[in-house]
Amino acid sequence: MNGVHDMGGMDGFGKVEAEPNEPVFHAEWEGRVMALVRAMGAAGAFNIDTSRFYREALPPHVYLGSSYYKKWLLGLEDLLVAKGYVGADEVKAGRALKETKAPKRGKLTLDQIDRIMVRGKFGRTPPAPAKFKAGDRVRAKNIHPATHTRLPRYVRGHIGVVERDHGVHVFPDSASIEAGENPQWLYTVVFDGTELWGPDSDPTVKVSIDAFEPYLELA
């Protein structure tokens, strides 16, 4: 979706402000939210792409006006309600009121923590040969899916070069809407800065994205 989360190349957000000696969490609730998202994901309530989609789908003013972990909380609440794990009335009341759907894998228990400390596996068996190879000139398609996609707007319509392939991965555009994993070849595609930002931009800049095969066409 063409949301405010897709902010590569936008102006006006100001300087990057690093915080010296930044703590891991700035408040106790931030850690709880992070852990709740991890635990509910591990329980099988949702996949990582769906959780990203719900954060992106927050109203633009809420997305831009919320801290990182507040976005995580709001996205989690919306997702749990939409999928029927929690009732909107329960979120409002702040307590459990009724029977709801349980996550398919069951709760994450203390003895399973080790399992989720390493990222899930996203590589899959190739369903078809790769269409592109390193060195190919490709164009990022001019597409504007209304649902979740990992093709940022700033590369659409632009020509780059395939640098390497990463094998076949779960396709977020499908997984995020629970339409199956639909595995696709994944490539690093590198663009000249001047291709993206115009002839007056810094000629020493190159930008790459990791692009799924359906995002690309031969140029």
Partner 1 sequence: MQIRVRALESILTAKGYVEPAALDAIIEAYETKIGPHHGAQVVAKAWTDPAFKQALLDDGSAAVAKLGHVARTGDHLVVVENTPERHNMVVCTLCSCYPWELLGLPPVWYKASPYRSRAVKDPRGVLSDFGVTLPKDIEVRVWDSTAETRFLVLPMRPKGTEGWSEGQLAELVTRDSMIGTGFPKTPGAPS
| Tokens encoding 2 | 């063409």
Instruction: Scan residues 38-67 and list those touching partner 1 (CB under 8 A).
Output: 38-40, 43, 45, 52, 55-56, 64
At residue 145, φ and ψ (nearest 5 deg) are: -60, 140
User: In angstroms, rounded to a whole number, what is the distance separating the alpha carbons of residues 161 and 192?
Assistant: 9
Listed residue (144, 139, 159, 178) closest to 48, CA to CA = 178
State in angstroms the smallest separation of the CB of 196 from partner 1.
Answer: 8
Binding residue (CB under 8 A) for partner 1 from 126, 128, 201, 219: 201
| Tokens encoding 75 | 């996205």
Under the binding rule (CB under 8 A), the answer on residue 70 touching partner 1 is yes
Under the binding rule (CB under 8 A), the answer on residue 120 touching partner 1 is yes
Instruction: Give me the 94-113 binding string for partner 1, x by CB under 8 A, dash otherwise.
Output: xxx---x-xx---xxxx-xx
Under the binding rule (CB under 8 A), the answer on residue 200 touching partner 1 is no
Neighbours of 202 (CB within 10 A): 8
Binding residue (CB under 8 A) for partner 1 from 78, 83, 197, 214: 197
Binding residue (CB under 8 A) for partner 1 from 188, 194, 195, 214: 188
123 vs 50, 72, 102, CA distance in Å?
18, 26, 27
Neighbours of 35 (CB within 10 A): 11
Instruction: Scan residues 13-32 and list those touching partner 1 (CB under 8 A).
Output: 13-19, 22, 24-29, 31-32
37 vs 50, 72, 90, 197, CA distance in Å?
12, 8, 18, 36
User: In angstroms, rounded to a whole number, what is the distance separating the alpha carbons of residues 108 and 106?
Assistant: 7
Instruction: Scan residues 132-151 and list those touching partner 1 (CB under 8 A).
Output: 150-151
* Residues near partner 1 (CB under 8 A), total: 90
Binding residue (CB under 8 A) for partner 1 from 2, 9, 126, 137: 9
Binding residue (CB under 8 A) for partner 1 from 130, 131, 152, 182: 152
Q: Which is nearer to partner 1, 111 or 129 (CB)?
A: 111
State in angstroms the smallest separation of the CB of 218 from partner 1.
Answer: 20
